[in-house]
Structure 1
Amino acid sequence: MDLTLAIFVLVYVAMGVGHLPGFRLDRTGSAIVGAMVLIAAGRISPAAAWAAVDYRVIGLLFGLMTISAAFMVAGFYDWVALKVGHLNVGPKGLLAILIAVSGAMAALLNKDVVAVAMTPIFCSICLERRLNPLPFLLGFCFAANFASATTILGSPQNMIIAETLRLSFLGFMAAAAPPAVLGLPVVWGVIVLCYRGRWALPATQGTAAPALPPPTAFDRGETIKTGIVTIAVVAAFIFSDLPHMLIALMGASVLLISRRFSSSNLLHNVDGDLLLLLFGLFVVNAALTATGLPEEVLAGLRHIGLDLRDPPSMLVIMAVLSTIVGNNPAVMLVAPFIGGAHHPEALGAAIALGTSFSSSAVIFGSLVGIIVAEECRKRGIGLSFSEFARAGLPTSILCLLMAAAWILYLR
Structure 2
Amino acid sequence: MQDNASADRAPQPVLRRLLGLATKEPVLSVLVVALIALQLFHPKPWTALPALIDWQTVLTLAGLLILTKAVEWSGFLMWLAHRVVHHIHSERGLACLLIGLAAALSTLLTNDVALFVVIPLTLSLHQLTPLPLRRLVIFIALAVNAGSVLTPLGNPQNLFLWQTSGVSFGAFVWALAPLCAVLMALLYLLAVFAFRAVPLDLSKDIDAHPVDRSLLGVAVLLFAAFVVLADARHAGIGLAGVAIGFLAWRPKIVLKIDWLLLLIVVFMFVVLRSVAALPAVHETVSHLGLTTPLRAYAASAILSQGISNVPAAIMLAEFTRDWRALAFGVSVGGFGLAIGSLANLIAVRLSGERGMWGAFHLYSLPFWLLSGLAGGFLLSHF
Q: TM-score range by the shorter chain?
A: 0.5 to 0.7
* Mapped pair 1:334 → 2:331: no
Worse-matched range after superposition: 343-352 or 185-194? 343-352
For residue 281 of structure 1, report the CA deviation from its aligned partner: 4.2
Which residue of 232, 245, 257 corresponds with 2:233? 245
Q: 1:345 to 1:66 in 2, by over 3 A?
A: farther
* Superposed counterparts of 1:11-410, under 5 Å: 24=23, 26-32=26-32, 34-35=34-35, 43-62=43-62, 71-90=71-90, 92-107=92-107, 108=109, 110-114=113-117, 116-127=119-130, 139-150=139-150, 158-159=155-156, 162=159, 171=169, 174=173, 176=176, 179-180=179-180, 183-193=183-193, 198-200=196-198, 217=212, 219-226=215-222, 228-229=224-225, 232-233=228-229, 237=231, 244-246=232-234, 248-256=235-243, 258=245, 262=249, 264-268=251-255, 271-284=258-271, 292-300=279-287, 302=288, 312-320=294-302, 329-331=307-309, 334=312, 337-340=315-318, 343=321, 345-346=323-324, 349-358=327-336, 366-367=344-345, 370=348, 375=353, 389=363, 396-404=368-376, 407=379
How does the TM-score come out when normalised to structure 1?
A: 0.60
Q: Distance in 1 between matches of 2:361 and 2:134?
A: 9
Asked whether the equivalents of residues 39 and 49 of structure 1 are also in contact (C-alpha less than 8 Å), the reply is no
Partner secondary structure for residue 87 of structure 1: coil
Q: Distance in 1 between matches of 2:75 and 2:65?
A: 16
Q: 1:34 to 1:82 in 2, by over 3 A?
A: same
Partner secondary structure for residue 198 of structure 2: coil
For residue 225 of structure 1, report the CA deviation from its aligned partner: 0.7
Q: 1:315 to 1:192 in 2, by over 3 A?
A: same
The structure in which a higher percent of residues are helix is 2
Q: 1:297 to 1:164 in 2, by over 3 A?
A: same
Asked whether the equivalents of residues 52 and 269 of structure 2 are also in contact (C-alpha less than 8 Å), the reply is yes
Match in the other structure for 1:8: none
Aligned length: 349
Asked whether the equivalents of residues 141 and 369 of structure 1 are also in contact (C-alpha less than 8 Å), the reply is yes
Partner secondary structure for residue 233 of structure 2: helix
- Percent identical among aligned pairs is 19
Worse-matched range after superposition: 160-169 or 38-47? 160-169
Asked whether the equivalents of residues 78 and 121 of structure 1 are also in contact (C-alpha less than 8 Å), the reply is yes
- Tell me which of the two structures has the higher relative contact order, counting C-alpha pairs closer than 8 angstroms and 6 or more residues apart: 1
RMSD of the alignment, in Å?
A: 5.3
Q: Distance in 2 between matches of 1:68 and 1:311?
A: 40
Larger radius of gyration: 2
Q: 1:38 to 1:169 in 2, by over 3 A?
A: same
Q: 1:137 to 1:295 in 2, by over 3 A?
A: closer
Q: Aligned AA for 1:245? A: R
Q: 1:216 to 1:331 in 2, by over 3 A?
A: farther
Ranges in structure 2 where 5+ consecutive residues have no aligned partner: 1-17
Q: Aligned AA for 1:350? A: F
Q: 1:336 to 1:395 in 2, by over 3 A?
A: closer
Asked whether the equivalents of residues 65 and 257 of structure 2 are also in contact (C-alpha less than 8 Å), the reply is yes
Asked whether the equivalents of residues 165 and 344 of structure 1 are also in contact (C-alpha less than 8 Å), the reply is no
Q: Distance in 1 between matches of 2:187 and 2:34?
A: 38
Q: Distance in 2 between matches of 1:347 and 1:20?
A: 43
Asked whether the equivalents of residues 176 and 352 of structure 1 are also in contact (C-alpha less than 8 Å), the reply is no
Q: 1:346 to 1:386 in 2, by over 3 A?
A: closer
Once the two structures are superposed, residues 106-161 of structure 1 have per-residue CA deviations (whole angstroms, 9 ceiling, x without a partner) of 4425355346523433334442xxx777875665453244224456776xxx3366
Q: Distance in 2 between matches of 1:384 and 1:49?
A: 31
Once the two structures are superposed, residues 190-240 of structure 1 have per-residue CA deviations (whole angstroms, 9 ceiling, x without a partner) of 322555xx433899xxx99xxxxx998564412441453267458xx4xxx
Q: 1:349 to 1:51 in 2, by over 3 A?
A: same
Partner secondary structure for residue 308 of structure 2: helix
Asked whether the equivalents of residues 162 and 348 of structure 1 are also in contact (C-alpha less than 8 Å), the reply is no
For residue 333 of structure 1, report the CA deviation from its aligned partner: 5.5
How does the TM-score come out when normalised to structure 2?
A: 0.64
Q: 1:100 to 1:114 in 2, by over 3 A?
A: same
Asked whether the equivalents of residues 32 and 267 of structure 2 are also in contact (C-alpha less than 8 Å), the reply is yes
Asked whether the equivalents of residues 98 and 140 of structure 2 are also in contact (C-alpha less than 8 Å), the reply is yes
Q: Distance in 1 between matches of 2:52 and 2:360?
A: 40
